[in-house]
A and B are shown apart, each in its own frame.
Chain A
Amino acid sequence: MTPRDLVPIIAFGVVVVAAALLVTSNVALNFLVFTMIIALAAQGWNLLGGYGGQFSFGHAAFFGTGAYLTAILQLRFGMGAYPAFAAGIAGAALVGLAIGALAFRSGLKGSYFALVTLAFAEVFRVLANAAEITGGAAGILIRLEVNPANFQFADRGTFLMVAGSLVTLALLATLALERSRLGAQLVAVRENEAAAQALGVDVLAVKLRAITLSAGMTGAAGGLYAQYFLYLDANIAYGTWISVEALLAPIVGGAGTVFGPVLGAVILHGLAEATKSVAGRIPGIDLVVFGIVLILVVRFPPRDIPGLLRRWRR
């Protein structure tokens, strides 16, 4: 990693901090915080899906575990907010390791891996909806005690700074991974698993490390969500919406790149807001746009766009 590589990441951090200090509208701050949470979840997906080529359709399992642990450890076990948040990340990482161990050991890949992750997320959702410790279908509220020591802040700007710093850290971690041996092995597995294996890459170990890191990062997004909104239920924490968001942003912004998930999250949620302001409050209309964007991005990969334009101009 050279200082030059760090410039865009530092620039990103500065922009977020500046936004946190300058923006006063609560609507705009809400939008930014939410986008940061999605970007963090998506960065997690990117580690496994983007660099490793293992497409998970169930990152909600990690997001929800991070979120619920952060809430439950505070409420039911009297833990401080920060240790609970850290435990949430660790718990999500462990869930990732466990699901990875089961799925990758059985040699699941492609659509099968997508299916099994989807099923795990659904199992968690049904369980959380029925269990007592999660508050069941009624959900769980984190007590409102605004105090930085409780990971609760009086104004949204401060929270944006915290969320932005976490995303910046995630960007740094992703860059470090990209430049590391593990990152190179991961890309090798994505491009050609058999060839990677033949060259002596321990494919299973590489995938397991990737899913653990990936789950931990998405779990951090879940914990952040819990601390920001102070309310969770099974359909939020383990809902398919977050699995889709976590996957969509990197695909749209560029899977397997450092800035792809952030870029994708900003583009998608910018589009969603624009759609809402044009079409009014029709439920679901923003997601229709997401679906269309997803298909268009697959049909016309952004990296091909310069080529397409050149051909079109000719």
Chain B
Amino acid sequence: MGLPPEIILEAVLNGLLTGAVYGLVALGLTLVYGVLHIINFAHGALLTMAMYAAYVAWASLGVDPYVAALPLAALFFGIGYLVQRLVIGPASRGKDENILLVTLGLSIIIENLMLAVFRSDTRSIDVPYAMDVIEAGPTLLSYPRVIGFVATIAVGVALYVLMRFTMTGKAIRAVAKERTGAALVGIDVAHVYAVTFGIGTACLAIAAAMLLPSFYVSPRVGNAFVLVAFTIVVLGGMGSVVGALVGGLVIGVVESLSGLFLGESLGQIGIFLIFILVLLVRPTGLFGARA
């Protein structure tokens, strides 16, 4: 391939930046898996919902997505909390295949509600900085993606602090390790589950706000991201937070490079193949403990 090294370098860097936001999406997924031991098939639909929320904040209220990020995170924490507490928890009654079906049902409902309300048109917002670039040596980096990268790091640090140094974090870790034991020492497991689900959903809201300036929104947009997020989570190891962030970066670069060499439409194939391969060869991922 006779591509000049600057172009490849730029593709790698932009891949890393996009990958960070992918990592943010995957973070919510892996957190929920690590604590609740469920694969949340509604993750993509919740991301779509968050992107529409950020879109509405911009289109009707004129709020910049970067400003809306934190209020949206709070809102989606509440939504996630209630969804787990009122729908997933009671409906699945602790059975694995029930959770699979309930979260699938949720994703169908959310996705099609978005379709009913916003129709199938793709929408995007027109912020003045969408096309801005930052010069880094010989390469040009997209401004929204740099912001997304920084936000991901910030969320990662905030989550680390939360999990390590707060009572809530301690309770979450306790439930993740030993559900029955945690319940015996007086931790409200259903509450901790819902809080964890809420945090995972809040991560999505921030990711949505970071994605909106450079991506369009449509009722099915979440699917594209969530398959990527599944890949990342599987690659990084289900339940591993570090794995999600590193996996995100890896996948971002793979997507960017395969897009460069194979073209846009086949670029996704690289990701799916990695996904399938990791599932088949090492389902516990690179950072996950042996099941």
Interface residues of A (CB under 8 A from B): 53, 55, 57, 102-103, 106-108, 110-112, 114-116, 118-120, 122-123, 126-127, 129-130, 240, 244, 247, 251, 282-285, 287-288, 290-292, 294-295, 298-299
Contacts and interface: CB of A to CB of B under 8 A. Distances in A.
B166 interface: no
B265 A129 contact: yes
A112 B98 contact: no
Best-buried of B90, B92, B265 by chain A (most CB within 10 Å): B265
Given A57-B104, A240-B223, A298-B101, A283 B119 contact: yes
Tell me the interface secondary structure of chain B in the complex.
helix
B105 interface: yes
Given A119-B279, A123-B273, A284-B116, A130 B105 contact: no
Contact of A288 (B108, B120, B231, B265): B108
B157 interface: no
Contacts of A247: 104
15 contacts: A102-B280, A108-B280, A108-B283, A115-B39, A118-B227, A119-B276, A284-B112, A287-B109, A290-B105, A290-B108, A291-B107, A295-B102, A295-B106, A298-B91, A298-B98
B135 interface: no
Best-buried of B104, B109, B116, B279 by chain A (most CB within 10 Å): B104
Contacts of B234: 115
B124 interface: no
A242 to B, nearest CB: 13
B269 interface: yes
A106 B283 contact: yes
Interface residues of B, number: 45
B272 A299 contact: no
Nearest to A99: B276
B120 to A, nearest CB: 7
B127 interface: no
A55 B100 contact: yes
Contact of B266 (A103, A119, A126, A284): A126
A208 B91 CA distance: 31
A106 B279 contact: yes
Interface in B100-145: 100-102, 104-109, 111-116, 119-120
B109 to A, nearest CB: 4
A108 B92 CA distance: 22
A102 to B, nearest CB: 6
Nearest to A111: B39
Contacts of A120: 276
A312 to B, nearest CB: 17
B100 A114 contact: yes
B108 A251 contact: no
Contact of B97 (A55, A282, A292): A55
Nearest to A294: B105
Contacts of B90: 299
A78 to B, nearest CB: 29
Interface in B69-110: 87, 90-92, 96-98, 100-102, 104-109
> Which 10 A-B residue pairs are closest in the complex by CB-CB distance?
A284-B112, A284-B115, A291-B109, A291-B108, A294-B105, A299-B91, A287-B112, A111-B39, A295-B105, A291-B105
A244 B279 contact: no
Contact of B269 (A123, A290, A292): A123
A112 B272 CA distance: 14
A287 B111 CA distance: 9
A110 B92 CA distance: 15
Contacts of A122: 227, 268, 272
B117 to A, nearest CB: 9
B290 to A, nearest CB: 12
Contact of A106 (B97, B119, B223, B280): B280
Contacts of B111: 284, 287
A112 B279 contact: yes
A126 B116 contact: no
A117 to B, nearest CB: 10
A285 B119 CA distance: 11
B219 interface: yes
Given A130-B265, A283-B119, A288-B108, A106 B96 contact: no
A130 B113 CA distance: 30
Contact of B101 (A106, A107, A251): A251
